[in-house]
Amino acid sequence: MTIGVGGWGSRRKPMCLVRAILRSDLRDLTVVSYGGPDVGLLCAAGKIRRLIYAFVSLDSIPLEPHFQAARQTGAIEVTEYDEGMLQWALYAASCRLPFLPCRAGLGSDVLRVNPQLRTVRSPYEDGTDLVAVPALPLDAALVHLNRADAAGNAQFLGDDLYFDDLFCMAAEQAYVSCERIVPTAELATAGRHTLRVHRWMVTGVVEAPNGAHFTSCAPDYGRDEEFQRTYAAAAKDPGQWARFAATYLSGNEAAYQAAVAAPRAVASA
Protein backbone atom coordinates (compact mmCIF):
# COMPACT_ATOMS: atom_id res chain seq x y z
CA MET A 1 0.00 0.00 0.00
CA THR A 2 1.26 3.48 -0.90
CA ILE A 3 0.55 6.16 1.69
CA GLY A 4 1.30 9.86 1.25
CA VAL A 5 1.83 11.96 4.36
CA GLY A 6 1.23 15.72 4.21
CA GLY A 7 3.01 18.51 6.06
CA TRP A 8 6.69 19.34 5.65
CA GLY A 9 9.66 18.27 7.78
CA SER A 10 8.59 18.69 11.38
CA ARG A 11 5.63 20.91 10.49
CA ARG A 12 1.91 20.09 10.62
CA LYS A 13 2.36 16.35 10.27
CA PRO A 14 -0.69 14.11 10.82
CA MET A 15 1.10 12.49 13.78
CA CYS A 16 -2.08 11.11 15.37
CA LEU A 17 -2.75 9.17 12.15
CA VAL A 18 0.88 8.06 11.98
CA ARG A 19 0.59 6.84 15.57
CA ALA A 20 -2.53 4.94 14.53
CA ILE A 21 -0.46 3.18 11.85
CA LEU A 22 2.13 2.28 14.51
CA ARG A 23 -0.64 0.53 16.48
CA SER A 24 -2.04 -1.23 13.39
CA ASP A 25 -0.94 -4.40 11.62
CA LEU A 26 -0.11 -2.43 8.45
CA ARG A 27 3.34 -3.23 7.12
CA ASP A 28 5.45 -3.24 3.93
CA LEU A 29 4.26 0.29 3.25
CA THR A 30 5.46 2.57 0.50
CA VAL A 31 5.53 5.98 2.17
CA VAL A 32 5.67 9.28 0.28
CA SER A 33 6.65 12.30 2.32
CA TYR A 34 8.46 15.60 2.61
CA GLY A 35 9.77 13.75 5.59
CA GLY A 36 9.99 14.49 9.27
CA PRO A 37 9.28 12.46 12.41
CA ASP A 38 6.42 10.74 10.57
CA VAL A 39 9.08 8.91 8.57
CA GLY A 40 11.24 8.41 11.65
CA LEU A 41 8.50 6.77 13.69
CA LEU A 42 7.38 4.56 10.80
CA CYS A 43 11.01 3.49 10.22
CA ALA A 44 11.48 2.71 13.90
CA ALA A 45 8.37 0.53 13.89
CA GLY A 46 9.52 -1.34 10.80
CA LYS A 47 6.46 -0.28 8.83
CA ILE A 48 8.24 1.01 5.72
CA ARG A 49 9.42 -1.11 2.84
CA ARG A 50 10.07 1.78 0.45
CA LEU A 51 10.37 5.49 1.16
CA ILE A 52 9.83 8.07 -1.60
CA TYR A 53 11.26 11.40 -0.44
CA ALA A 54 13.47 14.40 -1.15
CA PHE A 55 14.65 14.88 2.42
CA VAL A 56 13.91 13.79 5.97
CA SER A 57 14.56 16.40 8.66
CA LEU A 58 13.33 17.58 12.04
CA ASP A 59 14.00 21.22 10.95
CA SER A 60 15.43 22.54 14.23
CA ILE A 61 17.37 19.25 14.45
CA PRO A 62 18.64 18.80 10.88
CA LEU A 63 18.97 15.00 10.74
CA GLU A 64 16.29 12.41 11.63
CA PRO A 65 18.00 9.66 13.67
CA HIS A 66 15.53 6.81 12.96
CA PHE A 67 15.65 7.54 9.23
CA GLN A 68 19.44 7.65 9.37
CA ALA A 69 19.53 4.31 11.17
CA ALA A 70 17.13 2.75 8.67
CA ARG A 71 19.28 3.90 5.75
CA GLN A 72 22.58 3.03 7.37
CA THR A 73 21.44 -0.52 8.15
CA GLY A 74 19.83 -0.94 4.74
CA ALA A 75 16.46 -1.56 6.39
CA ILE A 76 14.44 0.36 3.77
CA GLU A 77 14.40 0.73 0.01
CA VAL A 78 14.39 4.29 -1.24
CA THR A 79 13.35 6.44 -4.16
CA GLU A 80 15.02 9.80 -3.65
CA TYR A 81 13.80 12.74 -5.75
CA ASP A 82 14.42 16.45 -5.92
CA GLU A 83 11.73 18.32 -3.94
CA GLY A 84 10.18 19.73 -7.09
CA MET A 85 10.19 16.33 -8.79
CA LEU A 86 8.17 14.97 -5.89
CA GLN A 87 5.62 17.75 -6.33
CA TRP A 88 5.45 16.98 -10.06
CA ALA A 89 4.96 13.26 -9.36
CA LEU A 90 1.96 14.02 -7.14
CA TYR A 91 0.63 16.63 -9.56
CA ALA A 92 0.86 14.19 -12.49
CA ALA A 93 -1.11 11.65 -10.47
CA SER A 94 -3.72 14.21 -9.51
CA CYS A 95 -4.04 15.32 -13.18
CA ARG A 96 -4.23 11.64 -14.26
CA LEU A 97 -1.22 12.08 -16.54
CA PRO A 98 1.48 9.41 -16.93
CA PHE A 99 4.31 11.89 -16.29
CA LEU A 100 5.25 15.55 -16.24
CA PRO A 101 8.47 16.90 -17.75
CA CYS A 102 10.97 18.89 -15.75
CA ARG A 103 14.52 20.16 -15.70
CA ALA A 104 15.26 19.18 -12.08
CA GLY A 105 17.21 15.96 -11.80
CA LEU A 106 19.20 16.38 -15.02
CA GLY A 107 22.92 16.06 -14.36
CA SER A 108 22.41 14.84 -10.80
CA ASP A 109 22.75 11.37 -9.29
CA VAL A 110 18.97 11.28 -8.81
CA LEU A 111 18.93 9.75 -12.29
CA ARG A 112 21.79 7.36 -11.44
CA VAL A 113 20.21 5.95 -8.28
CA ASN A 114 16.75 5.78 -9.86
CA PRO A 115 17.42 3.85 -13.08
CA GLN A 116 13.66 3.52 -13.61
CA LEU A 117 13.49 7.25 -14.42
CA ARG A 118 13.33 8.12 -18.11
CA THR A 119 13.87 11.30 -20.07
CA VAL A 120 11.47 12.56 -22.72
CA ARG A 121 12.25 14.56 -25.85
CA SER A 122 10.25 17.70 -26.51
CA PRO A 123 8.15 17.23 -29.69
CA TYR A 124 8.57 20.93 -30.49
CA GLU A 125 11.36 22.76 -32.29
CA ASP A 126 13.63 22.91 -29.24
CA GLY A 127 13.89 19.09 -29.27
CA THR A 128 15.34 19.08 -25.77
CA ASP A 129 15.47 16.15 -23.38
CA LEU A 130 13.77 16.53 -20.02
CA VAL A 131 13.19 14.28 -17.04
CA ALA A 132 9.81 12.54 -17.34
CA VAL A 133 8.70 12.41 -13.71
CA PRO A 134 6.30 9.46 -13.45
CA ALA A 135 2.92 9.96 -11.79
CA LEU A 136 2.87 8.79 -8.20
CA PRO A 137 -0.70 7.74 -7.39
CA LEU A 138 -1.37 7.13 -3.72
CA ASP A 139 -3.70 4.57 -2.20
CA ALA A 140 -4.22 6.90 0.72
CA ALA A 141 -3.21 10.38 1.82
CA LEU A 142 -3.02 11.50 5.44
CA VAL A 143 -3.00 15.22 6.28
CA HIS A 144 -3.53 17.30 9.41
CA LEU A 145 -5.17 20.72 9.19
CA ASN A 146 -6.27 23.32 11.66
CA ARG A 147 -10.03 23.14 11.11
CA ALA A 148 -12.51 21.12 9.09
CA ASP A 149 -16.23 20.69 8.90
CA ALA A 150 -17.92 17.34 9.27
CA ALA A 151 -18.14 16.93 5.49
CA GLY A 152 -14.35 17.13 5.10
CA ASN A 153 -13.87 20.71 3.93
CA ALA A 154 -10.57 21.49 5.61
CA GLN A 155 -8.76 24.69 6.45
CA PHE A 156 -5.16 25.76 7.02
CA LEU A 157 -4.70 28.75 9.32
CA GLY A 158 -0.91 28.93 9.24
CA ASP A 159 1.37 30.45 6.62
CA ASP A 160 1.66 27.43 4.39
CA LEU A 161 -0.65 24.73 3.05
CA TYR A 162 2.51 22.81 2.07
CA PHE A 163 1.34 20.21 -0.50
CA ASP A 164 -1.59 18.82 1.46
CA ASP A 165 -4.12 19.46 -1.32
CA LEU A 166 -1.87 17.70 -3.84
CA PHE A 167 -1.44 14.68 -1.56
CA CYS A 168 -5.24 14.46 -1.24
CA MET A 169 -5.83 14.82 -4.98
CA ALA A 170 -3.19 12.22 -5.84
CA ALA A 171 -4.85 9.69 -3.52
CA GLU A 172 -7.61 7.16 -3.97
CA GLN A 173 -8.71 7.94 -0.43
CA ALA A 174 -7.70 10.93 1.68
CA TYR A 175 -8.07 11.29 5.44
CA VAL A 176 -7.97 14.59 7.29
CA SER A 177 -7.26 14.93 10.96
CA CYS A 178 -7.83 18.39 12.40
CA GLU A 179 -7.54 20.36 15.60
CA ARG A 180 -11.25 21.10 15.69
CA ILE A 181 -14.34 20.22 13.65
CA VAL A 182 -16.49 23.32 13.30
CA PRO A 183 -19.80 24.17 11.64
CA THR A 184 -19.34 24.92 7.93
CA ALA A 185 -20.48 28.51 8.50
CA GLU A 186 -17.43 29.16 10.68
CA LEU A 187 -14.89 28.17 8.02
CA ALA A 188 -14.93 31.24 5.81
CA THR A 189 -14.51 33.67 8.71
CA ALA A 190 -10.73 33.21 8.55
CA GLY A 191 -10.66 34.06 4.83
CA ARG A 192 -11.69 32.09 1.79
CA HIS A 193 -8.09 31.53 0.70
CA THR A 194 -7.63 29.18 3.69
CA LEU A 195 -10.16 26.73 2.22
CA ARG A 196 -8.06 24.72 -0.21
CA VAL A 197 -8.87 21.14 0.79
CA HIS A 198 -12.39 20.35 -0.37
CA ARG A 199 -14.78 17.62 0.63
CA TRP A 200 -14.63 15.95 -2.80
CA MET A 201 -10.95 15.22 -2.12
CA VAL A 202 -11.58 13.84 1.34
CA THR A 203 -12.82 10.39 2.36
CA GLY A 204 -12.86 10.82 6.10
CA VAL A 205 -12.25 13.46 8.76
CA VAL A 206 -11.40 13.08 12.43
CA GLU A 207 -11.10 15.63 15.21
CA ALA A 208 -7.70 15.17 16.86
CA PRO A 209 -6.70 18.02 19.16
CA ASN A 210 -2.92 18.36 19.45
CA GLY A 211 -2.87 15.73 16.71
CA ALA A 212 0.23 17.15 15.00
CA HIS A 213 2.24 16.96 18.22
CA PHE A 214 5.23 17.21 18.45
CA THR A 215 5.40 18.93 15.07
CA SER A 216 4.18 22.50 14.65
CA CYS A 217 0.59 23.38 13.87
CA ALA A 218 0.68 27.16 13.53
CA PRO A 219 -1.15 29.17 14.74
CA ASP A 220 -2.72 26.66 17.14
CA TYR A 221 0.65 25.65 18.58
CA GLY A 222 4.33 25.66 17.75
CA ARG A 223 6.66 22.69 17.59
CA ASP A 224 7.27 21.08 20.99
CA GLU A 225 11.03 21.56 20.78
CA GLU A 226 11.71 20.06 24.19
CA PHE A 227 9.79 16.91 23.34
CA GLN A 228 11.46 16.73 19.93
CA ARG A 229 14.88 16.89 21.61
CA THR A 230 13.81 14.05 23.91
CA TYR A 231 12.59 12.06 20.90
CA ALA A 232 15.79 12.62 18.93
CA ALA A 233 18.04 11.75 21.86
CA ALA A 234 16.07 8.58 22.61
CA ALA A 235 16.18 7.56 18.96
CA LYS A 236 19.96 7.30 19.09
CA ASP A 237 20.00 4.59 21.77
CA PRO A 238 18.00 1.32 21.74
CA GLY A 239 17.55 1.25 25.51
CA GLN A 240 16.39 4.84 25.70
CA TRP A 241 14.12 4.26 22.72
CA ALA A 242 12.49 1.28 24.41
CA ARG A 243 11.72 3.48 27.42
CA PHE A 244 10.44 6.29 25.17
CA ALA A 245 8.18 3.86 23.30
CA ALA A 246 6.91 2.35 26.55
CA THR A 247 6.11 5.80 27.93
CA TYR A 248 4.54 7.37 24.86
CA LEU A 249 3.72 4.79 22.20
CA SER A 250 2.33 1.79 24.07
CA GLY A 251 -1.25 3.04 24.36
CA ASN A 252 -3.88 4.75 22.23
CA GLU A 253 -3.99 8.41 21.20
CA ALA A 254 -5.64 9.47 24.46
CA ALA A 255 -2.86 7.74 26.40
CA TYR A 256 -0.27 9.49 24.24
CA GLN A 257 -1.80 12.89 24.88
CA ALA A 258 -2.03 12.17 28.60
CA ALA A 259 1.61 11.06 28.71
CA VAL A 260 2.68 14.18 26.82
CA ALA A 261 0.74 16.41 29.19
CA ALA A 262 1.94 14.64 32.34
CA PRO A 263 5.50 15.92 32.74
CA ARG A 264 4.28 19.46 32.13
CA ALA A 265 1.73 19.17 34.89
CA VAL A 266 4.54 18.09 37.19
CA ALA A 267 6.87 20.79 35.94
CA SER A 268 4.30 23.54 36.43
CA ALA A 269 3.15 22.27 39.85
Partner 1 sequence: MASRAEVCVVACAEAWRGDGEIAASPMGLIPTAGARLARAAFEPDLLLTDGEACYVAGNWALGQPAPGPVEGWIPFRSVFDLVWRGKRHVMMSPAQIDRYGNANISAIGDYARPDRQLLGVRGAPGNTVNHPTSYWVPRHLPRVFVPKVDMVSGVGYDSARAAGRVAAEFLQLRRVVTNLAVLDFGGPDHSMRLVSVHPGVTVDDVVAGTGFELAVDGTVPVTRQPTAAELRLIREVIDPDGVCGGEVAG
Number of CB atoms found within 10 A of residue 82's CB:
19
Which one of 25, 159, 185, 269 is in contact with partner 1 (CB under 8 A)? Answer: 159
Rounded distance, CA 143 to CA 139, Å?
14
For the chain, what is the radius of gyration of the CA atoms? 19
- Given 5, 21, 53, 182, the residue binding partner 1 (CB under 8 A): 53
Other beta carbons less than 10 A from residue 147's beta carbon = 21
Whole-angstrom distance between the N-terminal and C-terminal Cα of the chain?
46
Name the minimum Å distance from CB 33 to partner 1: 11
**Rounded to whole angstroms, how far apart are CA atoms 133 and 118?**
8
Site mask for partner 1 (CB under 8 A), range 33-52, x = bound? --x-----------------
Question: In the stretch 207-246, what mask flags binding to partner 1 with x, by CB under 8 A?
Answer: ----------------------------------------
If one asks whether residue 103 binds partner 1 (CB under 8 A), the answer comes out as: yes
Residues from 125 through 144 that contact partner 1 (CB under 8 A): 128-130
Instruction: Compute the least distance from the CB of residue 122 to partner 1, in Å.
Output: 9
Q: Is residue 146 a contact partner of residue 220, using CB atoms and an 8 Å limit?
A: yes
Q: Please say whether the beta carbons of 167 and 6 come within 8 A.
A: yes
Q: What residues make contact with partner 1 under the rule CB under 8 A?
A: 8, 35, 53-57, 62-63, 67-68, 71-74, 80-85, 87, 102-110, 112-113, 128-130, 159-163
